Amino acid sequence: MLKIHYAPDNASLIIRLVLEELGEPYETVLVDRASNAQRSAAYLQVNPMGTIPALETADGVIFETAAIILWLTDRAERLAPAKDGPERGLFLSWLMVASNGLQNDLRQHFYAERFAAGPANEFRALVSMRLREHLDRFEALLDQGHSWFGADEPTALDFYVTVPLRWFALYLKDEDWFSLTDWPRLRDLAEKIEQRASMQAAIQAEGLGATPLTVPSPAQPPEGAAL
C-alpha cells in the first residue's frame, strides 16, 4: 500500500486529494512540523530534501509534489491527459508552472528570511508581484476552455492550483492586495473543488473547516500541527 508522509495543511494536502480522487488505498505517516521532524535524520532518510510530502511506493520513495502527481496519474491513467495525447505537453508545462512558479514563490514568500539577500519585507514585495502574475495567468488559462483545467471533471492541475488559494488567504492576510474575488474564475473552480468527495475527506482528516479554499480558516487537525 502507498504511504504518504504528510503534515496537516501542507503541500501533502494536494497529494491526499489526488489519492482520494483516484480511489487509491493509502496510509499516512505524520511528519510533525512542530518538532521540526522534517529535518530529522529519520525523515531525511525518506526524503533528503527535508520537504513534505514524500510517497513511499513498492518501487521506492518519490518526493517533490509534481513528481508524485505525475507518478500517480501516469500509473492510474487518470486526472491528466494521456501520455501520448496532443494535450499532454501543454498540461505538463502548466503543471511545472504550478510547481516551479506558484508553489515555489509561495514558499519564498512564507520563508523570505531564508531566501532574501537583503530586507525580507522588500523581498516579499517582489515575490508578491510574481504571485499576482501567477494568479492572473491561471485565471486567463481558465478562460481558454481546456479539457485539463477547469473542465467538468477535474485533473491534478485543478487541485495543484486551487489548494494554494487557502494559503494566500491565510498567510498573506497582512497584505492588502489579495482577495479571491478579484480572480472570479479561480474562485468558481475553488468552490467546485470544495464540493468534491475528495475534499470532504481531506477536511475531516486535516481539520480544514467547511470552506477550505474560498473562505478558509486555520486548520484544526486531529494530529500534528499546521505550520
Give the number of C-alpha atoms closer than 13 A to the C-alpha of residue 117, restricted to the C-beta side: 0
How would residue 59 be classed by pLDDT, with cut points 50, 70 and 90?
very high
Q: Strand 60-63 and strand 54-57: pairing?
A: antiparallel
Average pLDDT of span 69-97? 97
Task: Note the pLDDT tens digit of each residue in 115-155.
Answer: 988 999 999 999 999 999 999 999 999 999 999 999 999 99
Q: In the predicted model, is pLDDT for residue 174 greater than 80?
A: no
Cα distance from N-terminal residue to C-terminal residue, the chain: 28
Residue bearing cell 525518506: 46
Q: In the predicted model, is pLDDT for residue 173 greater than 90?
A: no
Q: What is the pTM of this model?
A: 0.97
Task: Note the pLDDT tens digit of each residue in 12-42.
Answer: 999 999 999 999 999 999 999 999 999 999 9
Q: Tell me how far apart the alpha carbons of residues 81 and 155 are, in angstroms, rounded to a whole number.
A: 8
